[in-house]
């Protein structure tokens, strides 16, 4: 018999905790983005993220997760996701994807964005913009009455209409007491499939978009994912709450309303 994935519906108290975790996570993402400048190392950004999250009384969700050595995943240019912070020095024209998570009061926040390093070319700027907009196109369908794949389909349509491709092997996910919970939230596929969305669900929606072909590979470090053709890749993610109406973005630097 096939096992059924249990999707957690969060209580009012749990939602408040997730708002707190989400705000810290979003602030860490903003801090990291502000540091993306020529001459800065990815290790310097990672340390700032770690110190900030710990200074808020939270723990970096990624540090030690599955053995990951950093507090942030920092992926540059043709690196899609899971880049390990280190001695790499950022250069003018790079694009830098930064994925962060914070755990506090029993719950995780998870978010990512891609930042330009100095002046970047037109293709890079458009890739970043399309990737972020595909998230917003997707969450138009993140409301009761729709299914998970309605989000997926909207993301894919926007990306491909702009001439880019969607990574298949890695997907969004539920988020809450665990960093990765059911259901999976792909960034591609036909509409009308998957779990029906209900108030109280919390999801991490995260388009991963390549300027070239969708094919990818993992480096020998066991973490860093790169495009096969060396084309640029961008990543954008927020943790969201399904409500009775429009989805609420949990990973925001703004104070959230009481539930």
pLDDT of 3 reads 38
Rounded alpha-carbon distances, angstroms, from residue 251 to 10, 16, 104, 112: 16, 12, 13, 9
For residue range 55-81, list pLDDT tens digits in order. Answer: 999 999 999 999 999 999 999 999 999
Least confident interval from 31-40, 224-233, 236-245, 249-258: 249-258
Give ∠ CA 220-224-227 in degrees, rounded to 5: 100
Place of tokens 């665990």: 178
Look up residue 221 and give its two tokens. Answer: 């470090």
pTM of the predicted protein model:
0.96
Are the C-beta atoms of residues 18 and 78 closer than 8 Å to each other?
no
Question: What's the rounded mean pLDDT across residues 11-22?
Answer: 98
In terms of residue numbers, what domain contains 235?
12-249
CATH number of the domain residue 174 falls in: 3.90.230.10
| pLDDT greater than 80 at residue 137 | yes
Q: What are phi and psi of 136, to 5 degrees?
A: -65, -35
Is the residue at 175 inside a domain? yes
Q: Which of 83, 112, 113, 80 is closest to 217 using CA atoms?
A: 80
Is the residue at 35 inside a domain? yes
Q: How confident is the model at residue 259 (pLDDT cuts 50, 70, 90)?
A: low
Cα gap 226→29, rounded to integer Å: 22
Is the residue at 2 inside a domain? no
pLDDT of 2 reads 38
Is the residue at 256 inside a domain? no
Is the residue at 160 inside a domain? yes
pLDDT of 254 reads 79
| pLDDT greater than 50 at residue 99 | yes
Is the residue at 7 inside a domain? no
Rounded alpha-carbon distances, angstroms, from residue 219 to 79, 82, 97, 142, 161: 10, 10, 17, 34, 30
Q: Provide the 10 A C-beta neighbour count for residue 200.
A: 16
Q: What are phi and psi of 173, to 5 degrees?
A: -165, 165
| pLDDT greater than 70 at residue 255 | no
Rounded alpha-carbon distances, angstroms, from residue 183 to 98, 179, 201, 247: 23, 12, 10, 16
Is the residue at 3 inside a domain? no
Give ∠ CA 217-209-73 in degrees, rounded to 5: 65
Q: Which is it for the CA torsion 75, 78, 82, 83, positive or negative?
A: negative
Question: What's the rounded mean pLDDT across residues 129-151?
Answer: 98
| pLDDT greater than 90 at residue 164 | yes
Question: What's the rounded mean pLDDT across residues 181-204?
Answer: 97
Task: For the chain, give the longest Cα–Cα distance.
Answer: 55
Is the residue at 257 inside a domain? no
For residue range 195-228, list pLDDT tens digits in order. Answer: 999 999 999 999 999 999 999 999 999 999 999 9
Percent above pLDDT 90 for the chain: 95
Place of tokens 């990973």: 251
> Helices (H), strands (E): how many in the chain?
4, 15
Q: How many domains does the chain have?
A: 1
Cα gap 215→203, rounded to integer Å: 25
Rounded to the nearest integer, the mean pLDDT of the chain is 96
């Amino acid at each position: 018999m096939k096992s059924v994935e249990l999707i957690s519906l969060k209580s009012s108290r749990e939602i408040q905790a997730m708002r707190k975790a989400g705000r810290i996570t979003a602030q860490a993402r903003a801090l990291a983005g502000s540091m993306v400048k020529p001459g800065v190392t990815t290790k310097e950004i990672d340390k700032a993220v770690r110190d900030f999250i710990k200074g808020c009384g939270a723990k970096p969700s990624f540090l030690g997760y599955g053995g990951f050595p950093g507090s942030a995943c920092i992926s540059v240019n043709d690196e899609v996701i899971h880049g390990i912070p280190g001695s790499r020095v950022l250069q003018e024209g790079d694009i830098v994807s930064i994925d962060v998570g914070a755990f506090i009061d029993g719950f995780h926040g998870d978010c990512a964005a891609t930042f330009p390093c100095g002046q970047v070319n037109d293709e890079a700027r458009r890739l970043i913009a399309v990737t972020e907009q595909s998230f917003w196109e997707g969450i138009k369908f993140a409301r009761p009455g729709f299914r998970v794949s309605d989000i997926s389909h909207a993301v894919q349509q926007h990306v491909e209409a702009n001439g880019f491709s969607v990574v298949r092997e890695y997907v969004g996910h539920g988020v809450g007491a665990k960093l990765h919970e059911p259901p999976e939230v792909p960034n591609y596929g036909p509409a009308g499939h998957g779990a029906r969305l209900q108030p109280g669900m919390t999801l991490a929606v995260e388009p991963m978009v390549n300027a070239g072909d969708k094919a990818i590979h993992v480096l020998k470090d066991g973490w860093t994912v790169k495009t096969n053709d060396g084309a640029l890749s961008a990543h954008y993610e927020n943790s969201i709450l399904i409500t009775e109406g429009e989805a609420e973005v949990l990973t925001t630097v703004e104070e959230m309303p009481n539930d």
